[in-house]
Structure 1
Amino acid sequence: MMKDAPFHAELADGPVGARAYWMQTEDGLRIRVAHYPGPQEAPEAKGTVLMFPGRTEYVEKYGRVAGDFAEMGYHTLTVDWRGQGLADRMLPDGRVGHVDMFHDYQTDVAAVLDAAAALALPRPFYLAAHSMGGCIGLRALHEGLPVAACAFTGPMWGIRLPGPLRSAAWALGWGSARVGLSHVYTPSTGPASYVATETFETNQLTGDREGWDYMQRQVNAITDLQLGGPSLRWLHQALAECLALARMPSPAMPCIAFVGANERIVDVPRIIARMAAWPGGHLETVPNGRHEVLMEDAATRRHITRQMVEVFEGRPCDGQEALSA
């Protein structure tokens, strides 16, 4: 059953009339979904974008993206995954990004689809997914997510880690449960929110000052949105899921993916390999883009959302169109 949830429209800067709702997952957790409205009349509404956010993210962060989709005829439905945003946190220390099993996120996906049905959102559905959401989304596609096409930005199909840290992450992950350390932060991380504490000059997310300020305003105004580093369990589960997905074929549906030329967080070779094997898939590199290409300047964001919609609507994307840098 859906119940009204807090939503901070002034921070989201999205379409007028957006609302958030609590949804209960099958395993008893409370997550938050948000509906950003598109055209209200059926002839004008072209469908609904299911926006799957990344780790640490929350529904308000995609207000401007939803505004682009609304201008092009689409509703947007997005989510606070378990353990982040205003959804139930998984541990007494709510700043730890944690999940018991990576597949648990698919239970959240099911709740998102329940919300779409309860709100009678227009079909067809389309997937747009960022970073961790790209990992969750790819698994959901393999499990029958009812979308007609998909798009990814900086998808977490692999995590960029130095060799020694990767080996340590596997070893620590396997052993953490046996010694009761699954819940502890991964080495070099802690409870501090990256966006709240990093400087613009040194951040790895966006090269656009206004985009950085947009994200920072949100987490500083609503400190409950802040999330720190991942747990050992999360990292181990994420690495295992990326490895499992790498062994699976690309789904047979239209797809476009974007990766920043200055990507430093996810594994770019994995993205290149996946998209090269995706039937009819298209990969576009965003000049000067960092990890969050949808948080770069407005012209870049609109270019990306427009390219996504072209794929959703079955039109060939123009990969040669110039991007603002």
Structure 2
Amino acid sequence: MTEAILHATKGNPVPENHFAGYFNGHKNKKLRYAVFRSSQSVARGTIVLLHGRNECIEKYFETINDLTAKGFWIATFDTRGQGGSERLLKKAHAGYVRRFSDYQKDISLFLEQVVLPDTRLPFFMIAHSTGGLAALSMAPTLSNRIERMVLTAPFITLGGQSVPKPWIRAVATCLSMVGLGGVQLGKDQRERHFEDNPLTSDPVRFARNASIGLEHPELFIGAPTARWLFEVLKTMPWVIRQDHLTKITVPTLLLAPVLDAITPYAAQEELSRNFRAAQLIPVTGARHELLLERDVYRNQALAAIDAFFAPDA
């Protein structure tokens, strides 16, 4: 009997009508992916779903079901170094990337190897947090491949830190430059408590995600490494530059949780002012993980996505 590629947990079954496997990412890293088909006879297209840091396909089963019910196919993969994808260090729980551009190259390879040959046109994209930063960084090259793009709480600045950002940048840079990029910085937050979490105000969805971590701890990682922080902090100011944003022609929707402590709302609002191809929808009361929030917030996001991806939107 072969080992399951996707993992069901209590209250979180694997969506039906899918295929899953592994593709070769940049530098031949083995990355886990899945494609979920809609039961509708005529598909509205395929949504490429990009995850945030320390996420996995299993966290999005509910959202995948909601979107396939609306007629979309979903193509998604676990980011290198996390989820069911190949780890990059011997210390498997360390959050690491050698170059931020590796994320971009993985996305391009996924589009070429899986999305283009095996799914349905037209192609859309939903990218959350660090996935949003990756999508934003490569967006000028997506104009002939992606029709429309939704960014939820894109990770364009570092918020909610007890240590000043310049200090974090200085430490991450120094460690990376002297060959200690694998050193982890910050707290291991794999076992958060609901009461003080900055991700969601929904206790049921929070508990469901926690149970995934308890049953399948191999899918999750701990604190980020110095190299990961160095690469992310180097990318953030670059993607919000006016000359970069001007090159983006893919129509983009920014879904911004107003109570986001990870990527402060003010930064997302400022991004929208300089981003001609984008429109901003604030979601008042929501925290960082908008698609895992309470229904009152999550339904707003899903309705906005559905309308934005409509043919006459």
So what's the TM-score if we normalise by structure 1?
Answer: 0.87
Matched, 1:105 2:103: yes
Compute the displacement of 1:115 (Å): 1.2
Question: 1:311 corresponds to which residue?
Answer: 308
Counterpart AA for 1:274? L
In the TM superposition, residue 35 of structure 1 has moved relative to its aligned partner by 1.1
Q: Give me the whole-angstrom Cα distance separating, in 1, the residues matched to 2:26 and 2:184.
A: 27
Is 1:271 matched up with 2:265?
A: no
Shift of 1:39: 3.3
Kindly indicate whether residue 69 of structure 2 is the aligned counterpart of residue 71 of structure 1: yes
Output the CA distance in 2 between the equivalents of 1:291 and 1:155.
Answer: 9
Q: Deviation string for 1:167-225 (max 9, x for gaps)? A: 12222222213433210111x32xx4x2x411111111000111101211111111101
- Residue 253 of structure 1 corresponds to 250
Unaligned segments of structure 2, at least 5 residues = none
Cα distance change, pair 162–209 in 1 and its aligned pair in 2 (3 A): closer
The answer for the alignment partner of 1:180 in structure 2 is 179
What is the CA-CA distance between 1:102 and the residue it aligns to? Answer: 0.4
Local SS of the residue matching 2:28? coil
- TM-score under structure 2 normalisation? 0.91
Counterpart for residue 230 of structure 2 = 236
Tell me, what secondary structure is at the counterpart of 1:76? strand
Q: How does 1:17-96 map to 2 (within 5 A)?
A: 17-39=17-39, 41=41, 44-96=42-94
- For these two proteins, the number of residue pairs brought into alignment is 306
Q: Which consecutive aligned stretches of 4+ in structure 1 deviate over 3 angstroms post-superposition?
A: 9-15, 161-164
- Contact 1:5 / 1:21 at 8 angstroms: preserved in 2? no
Q: Is the 8 A contact 1:39 1:75 kept in 2?
A: no
Shifted more, 96-105 versus 167-176: the winner is: 167-176
Following superposition, the deviation at residue 91 of structure 1 comes to: 0.9
1:10 Cα deviation after fit: 4.7
Determine the structure 2 residue equivalent to 1:320: none
126 and 314 in structure 1: CA distance in 2 versus 1, 3 angstrom threshold: same
**Relative to 1, partners in 2 of residues 1:14 and 1:67: Cα closer, same or farther, differing over 3 Å?**
farther
Deviations 1:266-301 (A, max 9, x none): 143331122123335322222221110111123532
- How far apart are the structure 2 equivalents of 1:315 and 1:213? 38
CA distance in 1, matches of 2:245, 2:278: 13
Q: Secondary structure at the match of 2:131?
A: helix
AA aligned opposite 1:253 = V
The aligned residue for residue 148 of structure 1 is: 147
Question: Is contact 2:286-2:297 (8 Å) kept?
Answer: no
Superposed displacement of residue 163, structure 1: 9.0
Kindly provide the amino acid, as one letter, of the partner of residue 7 in structure 1: L
Structure 1: unaligned runs, 5 residues or longer: 317-325
Are positions 1:133 and 2:131 aligned together? yes
In structure 1, the residue matched to 2:211 is 217
1:52–1:134 contact (8 Å) kept in structure 2: yes
Q: 1:159 to 1:25 in 2, by over 3 A?
A: same
CA RMSD of aligned residues (A): 2.1
Structure 1 contact 31–87 (Cα < 8 Å) conserved: yes
Query: In the alignment, which residue of structure 2 is the partner of 1:323?
Result: none
- Kept in 1: contact 2:139–2:250 (CA 8 A): no
